[in-house]
């Protein structure tokens, strides 16, 4: 155990942030209109989702699917009890997010130099230095400053990422006053041992940080990594409706863990989320219709564990 002697116990309540409108849509060939996004978001709110990573204030040329960032945030402002956050790469993005009326700005950087260069065309050091300018933009605004570290569990270009690299970035964020930091599993390279290593290291080197885990299901063990996070007492997760998602700057990146699958798992473990599973299944079906293709989520297809079938509709074996 680290020097902080953090007591690890499974949480009784988990905070789920829906990242479908941002991470879920940024890599899709189908670009949804603002009205279509709002249809999906309102269905999620009706299901009890109250926290969204709603968009990213990046160049529309880089991510065309998120070109309506200002319009989307403007349309959603004032939703009672709903918290909206947005990714920003630099101080100009922070200014645009602030003007739009966002609740929280998420500054992001990769733990991998190569991925950071592909993602934002900057070195890690340059990104970190730029965050200080972004933090100054937000001073006195009441807008929360959060952080995100992409490729926290591995990089498709560099391979393994040293845990110390993630810890160094976490310390920098902590010094800027950030308390909520998301560890991004950008291409599904996380494994339960890596989850343990990262969480315990963060608790040792940056104890004020409250970690959020953001898993992709590229290699089929996204929910296994959630289980490991729960065993470590982590109570904040990010997921995407229907399993939408992927990174346009990382080859092989597939969707996030599906929000409805995550809620199902937590329900079956008697862990409270405040989210209605039936409503999430309905939202996943809306996402499927809007995208015009089958989505990776499983529970929206199979239904809950006790969703029973009419036996008279099933043929009986003969012989």
pLDDT in tens, 249-304: 555 556 899 999 999 999 999 999 999 999 999 999 999 999 999 999 999 999 99
Residue 247 is predicted with a pLDDT of: 56
Q: Is 247 labeled as catalytic in the residue annotation?
A: yes
147-203 pLDDT, tens digit each: 999 999 999 899 999 999 999 999 999 999 999 999 999 889 999 999 999 999 999
Q: Specify the range with the lowest mean pLDDT, choosing from 14-18, 62-66, 129-133, 307-311.
A: 307-311
Compute the distance between CA of residue 252 and CA of residue 218 in angstroms, rounded to an integer.
8
* Angle between helical axes of 163-175 and 192-205 (0-180°, round to 10): 40
Q: Which stretch of DSSP H or E encloses residue 213?
A: strand 210-214
Q: Please say if the pLDDT value at position 319 is more than 80.
A: no
- First-to-last CA distance in the chain? 60
**Angstrom distances, CA of residue 100 to CA of 71, 121, 125:** 8, 25, 28
Residue 312 is predicted with a pLDDT of: 83
Compute the distance between CA of residue 230 and CA of residue 266 in angstroms, rounded to an integer.
10
The structure tokens listed for 97 are 């997010």
Residue 141 is predicted with a pLDDT of: 95
Residue 1 is predicted with a pLDDT of: 43
The structure tokens listed for 197 are 């290593």
Q: Which domains does the chain have, with CATH numbers?
A: 15-313 (3.20.20.70)
Confidence label for 234 from pLDDT (cuts 50, 70 and 90)? very high
Instruction: Out of 247, 257, 262, 283, pick the active-site residue.
Output: 247
Closest listed residue to residue 186, CA positions, set 96, 115, 289? 115
78-107 pLDDT, tens digit each: 899 999 999 998 888 999 999 999 999 999
Confidence label for 124 from pLDDT (cuts 50, 70 and 90)? confident
């Amino acid at each position: 155990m680290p020097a902080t002697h953090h007591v690890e116990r499974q949480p009784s309540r988990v905070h789920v942030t829906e990242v479908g409108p941002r991470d879920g849509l940024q890599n899709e060939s189908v670009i949804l209109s603002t009205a279509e996004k709002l249809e999906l978001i309102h269905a999620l709110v009706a299901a009890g989702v109250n926290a969204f990573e709603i968009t990213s204030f990046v160049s529309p040329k880089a991510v065309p699917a998120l070109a309506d960032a200002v319009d989307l945030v403007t349309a959603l402002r004032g939703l009672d009890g709903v918290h909206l956050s947005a990714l920003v790469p630099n101080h100009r993005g922070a200014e645009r997010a602030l003007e739009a009326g966002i609740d929280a700005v998420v500054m992001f950087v990769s733990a991998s130099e190569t991925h950071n260069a592909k993602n934002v065309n900057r070195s890690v050091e340059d990104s970190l230095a730029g965050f200080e300018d972004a933090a100054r933009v937000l001073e006195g605004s009441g807008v929360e400053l959060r952080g995100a570290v992409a490729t926290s569990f591995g990089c498709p270009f560099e391979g393994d990422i040293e845990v110390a690299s993630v810890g160094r970035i976490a310390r920098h964020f902590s010094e800027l006053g950030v308390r909520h930091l998301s560890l991004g599993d950008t291409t599904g390279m996380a494994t339960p041992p890596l989850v343990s290593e990262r969480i315990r290291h963060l608790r040792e080197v940056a104890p004020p940080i409250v970690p959020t885990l953001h898993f992709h299901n590229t290699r089929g063990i996204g929910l296994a990594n959630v289980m490991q996070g729960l065993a470590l007492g982590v109570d904040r997760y990010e997921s995407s409706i229907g399993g939408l998602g992927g990174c346009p700057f990382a080859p092989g990146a597939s969707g996030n863990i599906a929000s409805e699958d995550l809620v199902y798992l937590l329900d079956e473990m008697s862990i409270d989320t405040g989210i209605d599973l039936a409503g999430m299944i309905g939202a996943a079906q809306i996402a499927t219709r809007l995208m015009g293709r089958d989505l990776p989520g499983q529970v929206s297809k199979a239904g809950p564990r006790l969703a029973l079938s009419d036996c008279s509709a099933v043929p009986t074996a003969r012989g």
